[in-house]
Amino acid sequence: MKHSICMVSDFFFPNQGGVESHIYQLSQCLLQRGHKVIVVTHCYGNRKGIRYLTNGLKVYYLPFPAVYNQCVLPTIFATFPLIRNVLIREKITIVHGHSAFSTLAHESMFHARTMGLKAVFTDHSLFGFADASSILTNKLLKFSLADCNHVICVSHTSKENTVLRASIKPETVSVIPNAVDATMFVPDPSRRNPDKITVLVVSRLVYRKGMDLLAGIIPELCAKFPEVQFIIGGDGPKRIVLEEVREKYQLHDRVSLIGSLEHGKVREILVQGDILLNTSLTEAFCIAIVEAACSGLQVVSTRVGGVPEVLPPDLIYLAEPSVKCLLEALERAIEDKRQGKVVSPFKAHERIKKLYTWPDVACRTETVYNRVHQLECRDLAARLRRYYQCGPLAGKLFVIAAVINFFILCILQWISPAEEVEEAPSFPASKNVQKNFCEEKDSHNLI
């Protein structure tokens, strides 16, 4: 069964991150399996309009500017006319939103359900239940997923978290992990410094990633092990904290802050290290530790979220999210390396290569699409009942939003009937046509 799929998220290239990579790799595998796939995101600077990526992956950079944290302003209704036009032009049957943080993903799924299309959502994050921001986000997620056909989570811990936050039925949630392109993360032990033990940190330098823990670990570990050095890749508001630690303890020759990294250059940094340190306070999956293990590094990580599910026990040292516990785990990892008790980099690479593959993820996602495609379309009354059950006050607000969106659809259909919207041409399937298409890339604004 072939599908026309629209991947939607505020997070996509040229922005770098796990969600961006996930959407791109999954889209490429689905294209290879014969499905039609497009990506919809907001504009990035001057990058607006339609661009084409590898294998004819079509990307719509809609003229909605990012307002906060790479997300567009939540308006619910303002995005409907343009989203509707794209979905009709491309003959989309399934809208697949990514990330609970993405405003554009939630609004696009809402509009898709109003138009009678199927909606699938992939949750890449974990949230709490106590603080004000989590309470608000969870209520919005409950609204977004109330009429979603199926939800995908990247770990079993993430599934439990999403089911509780959004108050949805567990049978409507599937677990499909992230994957890694093993060909991009081949070990190269010759790049390591034989006189040093290099601890790598590749992460956004934000509170959620445990940068305050890292600031406490660096001086303690450097004082105890003179041969240890740190290489920290990434950027964020917590960089100033790490710079202050480096300045205070005079560790300029042992702590390198190399700034933000393009995903294509991550492997060049990973192969220089012996140990990858992950200090995250919350993680649904953590693709960084998979890439590190695939590159032959020992992994030391906090025991949070879905991290314990990701790697086999002999490839990871788990610790509670505290400076003391992480130091103990790092010391065990260093001692095991000194005594040669670690798994060979190439054996670790072969194991990870078989565990997490994008073709497998695409095949399992395709199964979700097939299941969703067979579901009956809900009428407006059924949708309103589902929204009404979201809470005594919030439920009524959700119903009002759904009714307004339906009336907007009627107005748009009157102004611009779907039958009169021009169908967008598909990317040429023939190799010869693809070759000619790529030769004319300047005139077609390709990237």
Residue range 205-216, pLDDT digits in tens: 989 899 999 999
Question: What is the rounded average pLDDT of the residues 396-424?
Answer: 94
Q: Which amino acid makes up residue 251?
A: L
Average pLDDT over residues 191-199: 92
Give domain limits for the chain.
4-179+359-439, 182-355
Distances (CA, A) of 155 to 122, 124, 130, 276: 11, 9, 22, 21
Q: CB of 185 within 8 A of CB of 270?
A: yes
For residues 94-103, average pLDDT: 94
Average pLDDT, the chain: 90
- C-alpha torsion sign, points 301, 306, 310, 312: positive
Return the HEC string of the chain.
Answer: CCCEEEEECCCCCCCCCHHHHHHHHHHHHHHHCCCEEEEEEECECCECEEEECHHHCEEEEECCCEEECCEECCCCCCCHHHHHHHHHHCCCCEEEEECCCCHHHHHHHHHHHHCCCEEEEEECCCCCCCCHHHHHHHHHHHHHHCCCCEEEECCHHHHHHHHHHHCCCHHHEEECCCCCCHHHCCCCHHHCCCCCEEEEEECCCCHHHCHHHHHHHHHHHHHHCCCEEEEEECCCCCHHHHHHHHHHCCCCCCEEEEECCCHHHHHHHHCCCCEEEECCCCCCCCHHHHHHHHCCCEEEEECCCCHHHCCCHHHEEEECCCHHHHHHHHHHHHHHHHCCCCCCHHHHHHHHHHHCCHHHHHHHHHHHHHHHHCCCCCCHHHHHHHHHCCCCCHHHHHHHHHHHHHHHHHHHHHHCCHHHCCCCCCCCCCHHHHHHHHHCHHHHCCC
Q: How confident is the model at residue 429 (pLDDT cuts 50, 70, 90)?
A: low
- Mean of the pLDDT values across residues 77-98? 96
Q: How far apart are the first and last CA of the chain?
A: 30
CATH 3.40.50.2000 correct for 182-355:
yes
pLDDT at 398: 93
Q: Is the dihedral of CA 250, 253, 254, 255 positive or negative?
A: positive
Locate 420 and state its tokens: 């009169």
pLDDT at residue 275 tops 70: yes
Q: Does residue 427 register a pLDDT over 90?
A: no
pLDDT reported for residue 127: 82
Residue 375 vs residue 36, higher pLDDT: 36
Residue 438 in this model has a pLDDT that exceeds 50: no
pLDDT for residue 18: 81
pLDDT at 263 over 90: no
Residues 394-413 have a mean pLDDT of 94
Q: What's the mean pLDDT in 390-401?
A: 91
Cα–Cα distance, 343 to 341 (Å, whole number): 7
For residue 428, the model assigns a pLDDT of: 64
Q: Could you give the percent of the chain with pLDDT greater than 90?
A: 72
Contact 209, 279 (CB under 8 A): yes
Q: Give the pLDDT confidence score for residue 439 in this predicted structure.
A: 38
Of 297, 306, 294, the C-alpha closest to 274 is 297
User: What is the C-alpha separation between 278 and 203, in angstroms, rounded?
Assistant: 8
Whether the CB-CB separation of 337 and 315 falls below 8 Å is answered with no
Rank 13-22, 262-271, 320-329 by mean pLDDT and report only the highest: 320-329
pLDDT at 232 over 90: yes
Q: 110-166: per-residue pLDDT in tens? A: 999 999 999 999 998 888 787 777 888 888 899 999 999 999 999 999 999 999 999
Checking if the pLDDT of 447 tops 80, the result is: no
Task: Determine the pLDDT at residue 208.
Answer: 87
Q: What per-residue confidence (pLDDT) applies to 105?
A: 96
Q: What CATH number does the domain located at 4-179+359-439 have?
A: 3.40.50.2000
Q: 430 pLDDT exceeds 60?
A: no
The pTM of the full predicted model, rounded to 2 decimals, is 0.87
Same fold, 4-179+359-439 and 182-355: yes
